[in-house]
Amino acid sequence: MFKKLLGKQVNINTLSLEERVALSKSEPIPAHVAIIMDGNGRWAKKRAMPRVAGHHEGMKTVRKVTRFASDLGIQVLTVYAFSTENWKRPKPEIDFLMRLPVEFLGSFLPEMMERNVRVEMIGDPSLLPAHTQKALYEAMEETKHNTGLILNFALNYGSRSEMVSAMKTMLQKVQDGHLTMQDINEECMTSHLMTAHLPEPDLLIRTSGEVRLSNFMLWQLAYTEFWFTDTLWPDFSEENLLEAVENYQKRNRRYGGL
């Protein structure tokens, strides 16, 4: 890929990662990047390892990508960690998955504090085990005053149920006289979603070659740039994230216009 540097065309493949990062930071960085982290089971299968080994390696990738996103100046990183459909998985796998937040936060929270990272979540935490909820709430409490990157975990999250819940709340407000039919518009709907306080995603990344949304942020992704890669999530690197951002910066977004 070629980029303009000081009036000259530069082949970025000849640059170091650091040089490419500096170049990328001279152009608009996507404020909100959302990632569907696919390919963990396949990564393990390729190595004749149990699926949970892929999930554990995937957790390390979350740490690595969080560091790099923070360095790049990304404001919000939303990662789809557990969907409402994932409850159909075997119980031992779910039990393992539900311990990952405890391990992640136990080892990474000090560094996230140093990096001024704030931990948030979207989804319904009530069905998560007590130890998972405890780790999550403690991390959100400890980091709530941080003003750097927002690391936003989608946990027990499903977009359709998020939208139904928003509609029910708005209907209840109309019944209670707190809203009128005229108030109901796209902005009103957006303000009733779990992401109301966040900018809409500028860039969606999905790994492992799957090309579908899987009930993820369906309303919020209306004008988002999509970037799909065959790379399996445990293999996803800083280089992959930078490539997605560089590709994003090449696109001129129209928001439906010309």
Catalytic residues: 38, 86
**What b-and-e string marks burial along 230-241, b requiring 16 or more CB atoms within 10 Å of the CB?**
ebbbbbbebebb
- Report the DSSP beta bridge partners of residue 139: none
Give the residue with the Cβ less far from ligand V0D, 197 or 253: 197
> Measured from the CB of residue 53, what is the shortest distance to ligand V0D in angstroms?
11
Give the residue with the Cβ less far from ligand V0D, 59 or 74: 59
Among 21, 35, 105, 217, binds ligand V0D (CB under 6 A): 105
Nearest residue relative to ligand V0D (C-beta):
58
Q: Is residue 55 at the binding interface for ligand V0D, with CB under 6 A as the rule? A: yes
User: Per CB under 6 A, which region of 55-63, 172-180, 196-204, 205-213 contacts ligand V0D?
Assistant: 55-63
239/243 Cα distance (integer angstroms): 6
By DSSP bridging, strand 2-5 and strand 8-11 are antiparallel
Q: Is residue 39 at the binding interface for ligand V0D, with CB under 6 A as the rule? A: no
Locate 150 and state its tokens.
Answer: 């927002």
Among 30, 58, 158, 201, binds ligand V0D (CB under 6 A): 58
Q: Is residue 81 at the binding interface for ligand V0D, with CB under 6 A as the rule? A: yes
- Report the DSSP beta bridge partners of residue 121: 153
Give the residue with the Cβ less far from ligand V0D, 143 or 159: 143
159/96 Cα distance (integer angstroms): 24
What's at 43, amino acid-wise?
Answer: W
Give the residue with the Cβ less far from ligand V0D, 53 or 242: 53
User: Per CB under 6 A, which region of 7-15, 96-104, 182-190, 205-213 contacts ligand V0D?
Assistant: 96-104
Q: Is residue 82 at the binding interface for ligand V0D, with CB under 6 A as the rule? A: yes
Strands (DSSP E) along the chain, which ranges? Answer: 2-5, 8-11, 32-36, 76-83, 118-122, 150-157, 203-206, 225-228
Question: Greatest CA span in the chain, whole angstroms?
Answer: 63
By DSSP bridging, strand 76-83 and strand 32-36 are parallel
Q: Is residue 150 at the binding interface for ligand V0D, with CB under 6 A as the rule? A: no
Give the residue with the Cβ less far from ligand V0D, 78 or 220: 78
208/36 Cα distance (integer angstroms): 10
* Window 220 to 249, contacts with ligand V0D (CB under 6 A): 233
Residues in the site for ligand V0D, rule: CB under 6 A? 37, 40, 55, 58-59, 62, 81-82, 97-98, 100-101, 104-105, 119, 136, 139, 153, 155, 233
